[in-house]
Amino acid sequence: MATTFYNDIQKLYVAYFNRPADPAGLAFWETAVEAAGGSTAAVSAAFAGSDEYKAAYANKTNAQIVDTVYQNLFGRPAEDAGKAYWANLLDKGTVTIDAVVTAVAQGAQGTDLVAYNNKVTAAAAFTAAVDTDAEKAGYSGADANKIAKTYLAAVTDNASLAAATAPAALNTSVAATVAAGTPFTVAGALNTLNTANDAVSAFVTSLKLTDLNGDTKVDGADVTAAQTAAKADVAADLTAEAGAGALYASTTSQPVRDALIASQQAANATALTNAQKTLSEDTAAAAKVAGLTAAQSTLTAASTALTAAQTAEKAARADLVAKEAAFGVNNGGSGVSVDGTNLVYTKNGDASATVLATIDVNGKATIADGVDASKFTGLTELITSFNTENSATISVNKAEMNVDNAHLAVNLLDVAADTQADGTTPNIVANVNGIDYTEKALIKAIADQINATTKDTVASGATPTVAQIQTELAVLKATAPDTYTSFKNLVDAEADSGDAFNPLISKVVADTAAVKTAGDVIADLAKDLAALQTATANVNTLTGLQATADAAAKLLTDKGYAVVNLDADHATSFATSASDVFVYAKHDASIGAFGLQGSDVLSIGKSFTLVQGAIGAKGVTANDGALEVFLSQQGGDAVLQFETHAYSSNLITSNPTEIVTITLTGVDASTLHLDSNGIISGTTA
C-alpha cells in the first residue's frame, strides 16, 4: 500500500483531533488523497464535519475552537490577536474551520513550527507502533482516543519528542490506549500478556546471545549485559586523552560521549596520517640505495614462500604419521621406519623386519623388488605420502636457502654506519676470526677475499653480490678448506647481522607495522561503535517489548489480579487471597496454595498441547512435532513438565535441561484444565 501522503494526513489528525491517526483511518484517507491528486482538502472538510470533531468541539464558541486548534498544533493557546482574527472570520461565515486549520498550520514558524513537526513525528511513530490486529482493534472509541490525546499533548519540543518516542514510553502509551479501547476479560488480558511475553522471549532468542550474567539461561538481562560489555569495549578504545575512557563509561550525557568519540577519531586519523607520512619518507630514503627496494621485495616474497612451504610440510608430515599408523593397524605390525636406505616394517611376532621400499639419494621411496603391494593394505598410499613429505621437506630447505640469500642481499646493501651515534665509538657488529669488524669493514673483507681468489671480481669500493659470494664459497671449499672456513665465518657474520644493522629497511619495516597498527586502531573503534550501536538498539527494542508486557500485566493488576512471572526470582511462589495469575517463564518453579482462594490461573500460552501423564511414563504417547506440557500426579502434588523444544520427549528424558518443571503443591491434577487461550485453571472442562 502506498504511503505517499501519510505525513499530510497525520497533520490533519493532529490539528483536528490532537491524536495520532489510527492505521485503518490512515490507510483509508491515503486512498482518498491519491484519488484527489494529492489534495487533502476533502479530508480536511470531512474531518470538520465528523462525529469526532462535533463531539470534541460541541458547545464551543468560535474563539474557543480557534484556541483548541492552536493547542492541538502548537501545544499553546492562540495569541489574542490571532484568536480574534480567525474567530471573527468564522462568526461572519467568511471562512470555514478547515480553512482556518490549513492557514494556521501553514503559517507556523519558530518554536510553533518545531512543536507542530514534533507532534506529527510523534503521531507517526505511535501509528506505526499500532501494528498487531489486537492493537488495531483496540485503538478505537472515546476511551482509547483520550489516552492517545494525552500522549500527543505532551509533545512540543525536541526533548519531549525524544521522551515520548523512546521504545518503552511509546509501547506503554500504545498498550494503555489499546487497553482503554478493549473490553476487559481475563482470557483477553492473558492472551495479550502471553503475546507480549512471547514477543520478548522470541526477540531475546533471535539475538543468539550467550549467557552473560551467570544465571544459566539467556534472558533479557543478557541483552543489557551485552550493551554494558560493548560500552566497555568502546571506553577501552578511548586513549587519546587521559581519563576519556572512564568518563565515557560513567557519563549519561550523549553529547559528552559523542565529543569523546569525535576527539578519539580525530586523534586516530592524525596518527594514521603521521604514520603514513613517516613510511613514505623512509621508503623514499631506502629507494635511493640502488637495488635495496628490489632486494627487500625479494626477501618478502621468499619469506612468504617459506611460510607456505612449512605449512605444506606440516600437513604432509601429519598425513604420513596417519598413514603409518593405519598401515600398522591394518597389517598387524608395530610400525614403519627408515633403516638406512630402506623403508621397513616389523610385523607382530616376527623377529626380522620386512623391506617395503628402497630410498634413493634424493629421499624418494619406491616399492622394493619382490614386494607384492596387494598383500599389504595401504602400502601404495603409504609410499605416496612418504614421497610427498620428502618433497615438502626438500621444498622447505630450498625456501630456507632462498630466504638466507635474500636476507644476505639486503644486508649487503643496507649497511650500518661505521660509528655509533656519538660519532666516535666504532660500531662493531661482529668479531670474526679474532678480529672486530664494523659492517663496512666486514663487507670489504669479504670483497678482498673474493678479489684475492679471482682478481678484480669486485670493483674497488663496490659491494659484492650474493652470486659472487656463493661462487667464492664453492671455489674455496673445493680448493682451500682452511681459507673456506675463515671466509664462511665472514659471510655468516654478515648474513646474521640482521635487521638491527639494516637502518633503512628496519625503519620501513617498523613504519609499515606502525601504519597497520594505526589502521587497526581506527578499525577497532569503528567495529566497537557498531557493536555498541547494535547492542543499544537491542536494549531499546527489548525495553519497548517489555513495556508492552508490563502494560499487559497492568491490565490484570488494575482489575485486582496479582500477576507473578515465574522467572528465576520467583522459583518459589504462593497464591494470595486475591485471584492470582502465574505466568510461565521457562524456569523451574513451585507454587503453593494454588486455587485455595480466589480464581488462580497459570498462563502458559497457546503454543502448548496438554498431555496427561509424566514424560516417559508407561502409556504416555508424545508427539514429536508438537510443543507439549505433561501433567501428572506425583504424591499430593500436580506436576507440569514443559518441553522447551518441539521434539521427541524420549530424547528430552535423557537431557533434563530441556525440561522445565512447575509443581503445584497440594493440587489434584485431575481438576486442572488447559483452555484454548493457554490458561490452566482448577476448573474441569
Supply the pLDDT for residue 646. 77
Supply the pLDDT for residue 413. 93
The continuous run of DSSP H or E covering 403 comes out as helix 379-413
Supply the pLDDT for residue 499. 64
Amino acid at 184: F
What would the pLDDT profile of 363-415 be if each residue is shown by its tens digit? Answer: 999 999 999 999 999 999 999 999 999 999 999 999 999 999 999 999 999 99
DSSP-derived pairing of the beta strands 572-574 and 435-438: unpaired
Per-residue pLDDT band at 684 (split at 50, 70, 90)? very low
What would the pLDDT profile of 238-278 be if each residue is shown by its tens digit? Answer: 999 999 999 999 998 988 999 999 999 999 999 999 999 99
Q: What is the CA radius of gyration of the chain?
A: 42
The answer to whether the CB of 193 falls within 8 A of the CB of 556 is yes
**Residue 370 placed within a domain:** yes
- What angle do the packed helices 141-153 and 110-129 form, to 10 degrees? 140
**Residue 448 placed within a domain:** yes
Give CA–CA dist 521/518, Å, rounded. Answer: 5
Per-residue pLDDT band at 676 (split at 50, 70, 90)? confident
- pLDDT: which is higher, 202 or 309: 309
CA–CA distance from 175 to each of 181, 190, 200 (Å)?
10, 14, 15
CA–CA distance from 514 to each of 292, 410, 414, 503, 518 (Å)?
21, 21, 21, 16, 6
Span 61-77, mean pLDDT? 93
Average pLDDT, the chain: 90
**Residue 577 placed within a domain:** yes
The answer to whether the CB of 583 falls within 8 A of the CB of 197 is yes
Phi/psi of residue 370, nearest 5 degrees = 85, -5
- CA torsion through residues 495, 496, 497, 499, sign: positive
Judge if 473 and 585 occupy the same domain. no
Judge if 485 and 580 occupy the same domain. no
Span 189-202, mean pLDDT? 83
Give CA–CA dist 193/179, Å, rounded. Answer: 11
Helix (H, G, I), strand (E, B) or coil at 565: strand
Supply the pLDDT for residue 318. 97
Tally of CB atoms within 10 A around 532: 21
**Residue 264 placed within a domain:** no
Supply the pLDDT for residue 683. 59
Domain boundary among 371, 387, 405: 405
Span 279-292, mean pLDDT? 95
Give CA–CA dist 681/601, Å, rounded. Answer: 5
Span 116-128, mean pLDDT? 95
Q: Percent of the chain, pLDDT > 90?
A: 66
Rounded to the nearest angstrom, the gap between the alpha carbon of residue 241 and the centroid of all alpha carbons in its chain is 28
DSSP-derived pairing of the beta strands 561-566 and 659-664: unpaired
Does the structure show a pLDDT above 50 at 529? Answer: yes
Give CA–CA dist 118/208, Å, rounded. Answer: 36
Judge if 594 and 466 occupy the same domain. no
- Residue 82 C-alpha cell reads as 490571532
Supply the pLDDT for residue 685. 37
**Residue 527 placed within a domain:** no
Judge if 97 and 116 occupy the same domain. yes
Supply the pLDDT for residue 555. 82
Supply the pLDDT for residue 486. 95
For the chain, the domain total comes to 4
Span 78-104, mean pLDDT? 92
Does the structure show a pLDDT above 80 at 647? Answer: no
Q: Is the pTM of this model over 0.85?
A: no
Does the structure show a pLDDT above 50 at 600? Answer: yes
Judge if 354 and 381 occupy the same domain. yes
**Residue 244 placed within a domain:** no
Give CA–CA dist 414/421, Å, rounded. Answer: 17
Tally of CB atoms within 10 A around 679: 20
Q: Which region among 380-389, 478-487, 518-527, 618-627 has the lowest average model confidence (pLDDT)?
A: 618-627
Domain boundary among 158, 183, 208: 183
Does the structure show a pLDDT above 70 at 35? Answer: yes
State the DSSP string of 434-497.
TEEEEHHHHHHHHHHHHHHHSTTSS-TTPPPPHHHHHHHHHHHHHH-HHHHHHHHHHHHHHHTT
The answer to whether the CB of 648 falls within 8 A of the CB of 622 is yes
Q: At which residue does the C-alpha cell 627408515 appear? A: 338
Phi/psi of residue 573, nearest 5 degrees = -135, 160
Judge if 484 and 620 occupy the same domain. no
Judge if 398 and 437 occupy the same domain. no
Give CA–CA dist 420/422, Å, rounded. Answer: 5
Judge if 110 and 13 occupy the same domain. yes
The domain in which residue 674 lies consists of 561-681
**Residue 536 placed within a domain:** no
The burial of 27, by beta-carbon neighbours within 10 Å (0-12 exposed, 13-18 middle, 19 or more buried), is given as: middle
Judge if 431 and 398 occupy the same domain. no
Judge if 336 and 439 occupy the same domain. no
Per-residue pLDDT band at 654 (split at 50, 70, 90)? low
Judge if 375 and 395 occupy the same domain. yes
Span 598-619, mean pLDDT? 89
Q: Which region among 130-139, 589-598, 653-662 has the lowest average model confidence (pLDDT)?
A: 653-662
Amino acid at 400: E
**Residue 239 placed within a domain:** no
- CA torsion through residues 331, 332, 335, 338, sign: negative
Judge if 386 and 419 occupy the same domain. no
Domain boundary among 483, 501, 519: 501
- What angle do the packed helices 292-331 and 503-557 form, to 10 degrees? 60
State the DSSP string of 33-47.
HHHTTT--HHHHHHH
